[in-house]
Amino acid sequence: MAKGYVRHKETHEHLAVYGQTPEVMVISCCDSRVTPEGIFNVGPGELFVFRNVANLVPPCETDSGHHGTSAAIEYAVTALKVKHIVVMGHAKCGGIQAFRENAGTSNLEGAFIGRWIKLLEPAAISLACMPVDKIDDPQLAMEYAGVRQSLVNLGTFPFVEEAIQNGSLSLHGAWFDIGSGELRVMDPDTERFAPAEPASIQAAE
Ligand SMILES: [Zn+2]
């Protein structure tokens, strides 16, 4: 159970006066076992975190829908001008598992979760047609593929593409093993995941 409310008075007084200037946005899953501030060992004001089911980034859509993930990305890139966006998948992701168990069925048409995780369909197609590497664990393979697809989808936002082109923003893929606490990062060239060196995200700045 929660141990209760802890007040970090001085830190928040400073943040209230000077505002937030995080350099890193993390997009991770809602899963309670995946806590970005804990994994990266940082305090208030250091990470701009957005969490949703299965850490998915939708493609840029300009319809009248309520696009919470896209709004957070827009704010991070255009207002906060973050230097890095990290899409962080994780082991034993229930959203990924639900997609794997229901792909190709009508279960993905209904309610909110089903329609949301349909965003993984292009990732599943890429995995079937152009696997980056041979992974025997289909759950892990899909977790990696979901991160890769979200990075592709990030590039469909014009303000993201522009920031990448002018060198002010870089995108990163990561995956967290909730069983061991190991963080793996994606090589941007090979798109393969390997264990991270401590503080490698900061070192990439
Ligand atoms: Zn998850």
From the CA of 19, how far away is ligand 1's center (Å)? 30
- Which tokens go with 104? 């190709």
From the CA of 18, how far away is ligand 1's center (Å)? 34
Residue 181: Cβ-neighbour burial (10 angstroms; 0-12, 13-18, 19+): exposed
Q: What is the pLDDT of residues 77-98, one digit of tens each?
A: 999 999 999 999 999 999 999 9
pLDDT at 200 > cutoff 70: no
From the CA of 143, how far away is ligand 1's center (Å)? 9
Give the CATH number of domain 22-203: 3.40.1050.10
CB within 8 A of 6, min separation 6: which ones? none
pLDDT in the model for residue 202: 55
Q: What is the pLDDT of residues 22-71, one digit of tens each?
A: 999 999 999 999 999 999 999 999 999 999 999 999 999 999 999 999 99
**What residues flank ion ligand 1 with Cβ within 5 A?**
29, 31, 93, 95
pLDDT in the model for residue 111: 86
pLDDT at 205 > cutoff 60: no
